[in-house]
Structure 1
Amino acid sequence: MDTSSADQVVDLFRKLQHSGLEREAHLTALSKALRNPSTQLTFVKQENSMHLLVGFLSGSNAQCRLQAVRCLHELSHSHHPSMAPACLPATPYLLTYLSGQSTKFTELCLYTLGNLCPETDAVREKLLAQGIIPALANCIENQRHNLAVVEAVGFTLSQLLQTKDAAKKIIPMVLASGLPPHLLSVLTPDPQFGLAPAIECAWCLHYLTCSNVDNRVLLAHGALSQCSTLLVSLGGAVAKGNKEEGLELLVWPLLRCMGNLLSSGPMEDLSTQVGDVRLLAALCALLQAFLQTQPALARESAWVLNNLTADSSALCSALLALNLVPGLIQLLPFSQGINTMILRVLGNIAHKKKDYCVQLAQAGLLPALCATLKMANQEMVTLSLEVLFLLVASGPQVAEEFARHSGLSLLEAIQYNSEGEMRLRATHLLEHQLLSHRMVDNVPSQ
């Protein structure tokens, strides 16, 4: 430990015990000294140290209150197990002050509470009992035009929503609090303030949707429609080459919200909230934009495409009509789970109609599948065989084209070298191909 820093903290604590004209300066010096983690424990170990800070926090001097909050904020950064419980005497005041005071003061209160939330179950239980959820709801409602405060509310709430007991204890309270519509209203970034408030609130919505506690509440507030509209806007901007710095930090939670909400019920019940088919083009644009730099984010885009097309013939038809399929086929060589998710999307299309299978073949899917059948990834080969069967079963022309691409020898190789499901699928396809050829050969002359 830096003994000089520790001695300074002890000295400042003693000076603050004797109030005088210099107490504001002493508190300012103390808040700076507490930035050093080694001095934080020194301070809280002083008898009545927290009582002293709470006294300044609850006093009438506005500057002393601000500096006292700064001190608490520095202490809240500590991960020492004794620190968060030591700060508990101050939390009722921090929560009370969310309803007023200056913007900077409110921000500091929020970030201090946010830092304390995840530390221990006891602290979290106390904060919940003290009313942190309604306090956050009131704060964001009263300060909805102050984006710095809204961002801080989002941070604090996200810290709560990430804790292990969130699904059981916290999320039901949040859904019933009136917070969701306020979080949704912040999703569209402010051109002057930037992305930060939207990012924080989008992550809160992600933590709510992935819990599956009750996504009907969010759907009722139009969460799916809001996410869809914003993704269309962001995807359109990216397609034009306008990729704002940090944009992926907003795209991530929006995609996850969308994917989770689409998993909440039958697509026919949700289709009216998805918006127009421009969403498909936007997702493909985001997929392409982040393919090299953020492959995991590209996979999330493909995952949402999969959830959209799994139960919707209309959206499968739109992918074909918008000529987005050739671009998806070109992504089949990519790994890191992107190609398997893309193949699931193409499989969704193939499952819907035989006519769609013919259109997939015309878009160049057959030679692409011949390439994926040679991959070492067993999941990719199995999915390829599944999609391939749908294609060749759609008509003799597709089956013949597959044979022209040396498809039969590929199937024979898989049948010879593989076991289990892959071998069965390859055998089934070979039998189907041979039967198709016999049927074509035996067509009587007219």
Structure 2
Amino acid sequence: MWRLKTIRHKASRSANDLEEFKHKKREFEKALRQARRDRQLISKRLLQNEDEDSVETDSVHLSPEQVREMIRGIQCGGEEKATRLACLRKALRNPETQLAFIKSENSMHMLIGQLSGHNAQCQLEAVRALHELSHSPHPSVGQACLSAGPYLLTYLSGQSPKLTELCLYTLGNLCPDNGSCREKLLAQGIISALANCIQSQKYNLAVVEAVGFALSQLLQDKDATDKIIPAVVDSGIISDLISALNPHCDFGFGPAIECAWCLHYLVSSNLDNKVLVTQGALSQCSACLITLGGTVAKGNLEDGLELLIWPLLRCLGNLLVSEGCDVMPEDTRLLAALCVFSQAYLQPHMGLSRESLWVLNNLTASSSGFCSGLVLLNLVPILINLLSFSKGINLMVLRVLGNIAHNGPECCVRLTQAGVLSGLCATLKMAEPEVVTLSLEVLHMLVSSSPQVIEEFTRLNGVPLLEAIQYNSEAEQRVRAAYILDNHFSEVESLS
């Protein structure tokens, strides 16, 4: 999980091994979240047991007879039962051993018996064994685990945070196995159980993070809009997800990341987003982005920070364009934060830079106040510097500049004073047709606003660029270039 955490290990493990273990764990979690960010894949999660002697997580394949022998040993009871359960759990890391286990007679019955028993250590080891099984690549293994579903849901209201956390990740892993698994968990009341869990343990950030993970697994189902989202709205969990968007200085980004993805999936559905706006999703996303923008502006690109910025941007950007949403953020510091993201992540995460500009476009497309804010806060030069970058960056910048220019002559003059014409001279030379077309559109608004703009564009030798487009480009661009030349530069052409 993306959190800072004190981990107790046995003294025999060296400091280097511990650091390597934590580094691998962070990289593994980062890869999962990046996969979900890039392709919205449902991803299973495996919690590492932090008290083990070895950082190795691989296990050898056991034969069916060896598995049955382990089961019999546990059924015999005695003081070694918890130790034997721990050995079984380690063996269940092997996918083939997992299949052998579920095919063994009374295997799940034995495991559920230990789960529902009164021995706390055996109960914890049984949950860990189920957690290993839930991570299996074989859908049949997950199907076999469903018999433990009611117990896992019951323990979400228990007194042991570690047990609750394990149950949550196990349930989250079972959700994507197949439709029948989700149907059974929904019928067993998983959504209300998740809502009750996060409401009763909102100060336990590890549990909040685990609830967010389990819920996000459900919300990515293709039928979520009809079957799952209405139940989520009715459960009252949305306000808790919104409250969790604040990163904790000691714990880290994990809870906020998971809950932000949940909100993203809700916003991206056919849900009436007025529900989310009313409960503060838009204002909370904006406030969190402003805070993160301040962190990034200081040069602190902390590992994993971008994984929180992604879903927050998507939530905010989609809320701004959702039908019936007539509420806008009020804090112009959001503009500065978006510009900071577009600059800081241009090299390491160009997609995030592009997404920041997309949100900026959505803001300025429907708010003259934010258009003026970009000018007054002297943020336009940042945007102009981004015009030289391709892969959609310059297109988004041109759309934002067009939104500003659309607000009238005063904004056009201010854009010109900021140096936008030199940037347009560069984009008019580019090979991408859409970039040239958008550049001509912005240029037309600018030169229509003031004679001073025409004079400045002429001084920058922009007229020959229009003439080149008029004769060497696609039909739409030729028409646009010819119109600008005929209506605004005809005197200049005659003099030349």
Coarse TM-score class (shorter-chain normalised): over 0.9
Matches within 5 A, 1:252-271: 252-265=310-323, 269-271=326-328
Q: Which amino acid aligns with 1:427?
A: A
- Give the residue type in structure 2 aligned to 1:140: I
More off after superposition, 176-185 vs 56-65: 56-65
The whole-number CA distance in structure 2 between the counterparts of 1:211 and 1:302 is: 22
The alpha-carbon deviation at position 405 of structure 1 amounts to: 2.0
From 368, 373, 390, the equivalent of 2:445 is: 390
Q: For 2:62 and 2:127, locate their aligned partners in 1 and report how far apart those are by CA, in whole Å.
A: 24
Secondary structure in 1 aligned to 2:388? coil
- Contact 1:6/1:38, CA 8 A, preserved across alignment: no
- 1:290 corresponds, among 345, 364, 380, to 345
- TM-score, normalising length from structure 2? 0.85
Aligned to 1:47: 105
The equivalent residue for 1:91 is: 149
Alignment partners' CA distance in 2, 1:436 and 1:363: 26
1:222-233 alignment runs, 5 A limit = 222-233=280-291
* Shift in Å, 1:265: 4.5
1:80 to 118, 129, 138: 138
**Which residue of the partner structure matches residue 124 of structure 2?**
66
1:105 and 2:163 matched:
yes
How much does 1:168 deviate? 2.1
Say whether residues 1:191 and 2:218 are aligned partners.
no
Amino acid at match of 1:185: S
Cα distance between partner residues in 1 of 2:90 and 2:148: 19
**Residue type matched to 1:422 in 2?**
Q
Distance of 2:430 and 2:459 partners within structure 1: 20
2:468 is aligned with what amino acid? Answer: A
Q: Does 2:424 match 1:366?
A: no
- Rate the CA distance shift 1:353–1:2 in 2: closer, same or farther, 3 A: same
Distance across 2 between alignment mates of 1:437 and 1:414: 17
SS at match of 1:330: helix
Once the two structures are TM-superposed, the CA of residue 7 in structure 1 deviates from its matched residue by 4.6
Alignment correspondent of 2:45: none
Matches of 1:289 and 1:343, distance apart in 2? 19
> What's the offset of the Cα at 1:84?
1.5
Q: d(CA) in 2 for partners of 1:303 and 1:265?
A: 18
**Alignment partners' CA distance in 1, 2:406 and 2:100:** 67
Provide the C-alpha distance between the structure 2 equivalents of 1:3 and 1:358, rounded to a whole number of angstroms: 73
Rounded Cα–Cα distance in structure 2 between residues aligned with 1:223 and 1:329: 31
Q: In structure 2, what is the Cα distance between the partners aligned to 1:232 and 1:3?
A: 51
Distance 2:164 2:66 in 1: 28
Letter in 2 for 1:270: V
| Superposition deviation, residue 419 in structure 1 | 2.2
Q: SS of 2:386's equivalent?
A: coil
TM-score, normalised by the number of residues in structure 1? 0.94
Tell which deviates more after alignment, 210-219 or 299-308.
210-219
* Matching of residue 424 in structure 1 with residue 482 in structure 2: no
What stretches of structure 2 of length at least 5 have no aligned partner? Answer: 1-58
In structure 2, how many angstroms separate the alpha carbons of the residues matched to 1:432 and 1:8? 87
Match of 1:176 among 226, 234, 248: 234
More displaced 10-residue stretch of structure 1: 391-400 or 317-326: 391-400
Contact residue 62 and residue 91 of structure 2 kept, 8 A: no
* Aligned-residue offset at 1:59: 1.7
Deviations 1:319-344, CA, capped at 9 Å, x for gaps: 10111001110110011211110110
> What is the identity, as a one-letter code, of the residue corresponding to 1:338?
I
> Do residues 304 (structure 1) and 347 (structure 2) align?
no
Q: Any gaps of 5 or more consecutive residues in structure 1?
A: 442-446
CA RMSD of aligned residues (A): 1.8
1:11 alignment partner in structure 2: 69
1:313 equivalent in structure 2: 368
Q: Which amino acid aligns with 1:158?
A: S
1:330 aligned partner, one-letter code: N
What amino acid maps onto 2:402 in structure 1? G
What is the CA-CA distance between 1:423 and the residue it aligns to? 1.9
Question: C-alpha offsets along residues 256-280 of structure 1, whole Å, 9 cap, x if unaligned?
Answer: 111011112477x312xx1311111
Q: Aligned match of 1:122 in 172, 175, 180?
A: 180
**How many pairs align?**
437
Report the residue type matching 2:192 in the other structure: P
Tell me, yes or no, if the aligned pair for 1:151 and 1:201 is still in contact at 8 Å.
yes
More helix by share: 1
Q: Contact 2:153/2:190 (CA < 8 Å) preserved in 1?
A: yes
Deviation at residue 199 of structure 1 after TM alignment: 1.1
Aligned equivalents of 2:249 and 2:322: distance in 1?
Answer: 32
SS in 1 for 2:114: helix
CA contact (8 A) 1:2 1:38 kept: no
Relative contact order, CA 8 A, sep 6+: which one is greater? 2
Q: Which amino acid aligns with 1:278?
A: R
The offset of 1:46, in angstroms, is 0.5
Identity of aligned residues (%): 64
C-alpha displacement of 1:53: 1.1
1:275 corresponds to which of 317, 330, 333? 330
Q: Distance in 2 between matches of 1:336 and 1:9?
A: 54
CA deviations over 1:308-362 (Å, ceiling 9, x no partner):
0001111101110111001110110011211110110000000111111111111
Query: Is the CA contact (8 Å cut-off) linking 1:358 and 1:391 kept in structure 2?
Result: yes
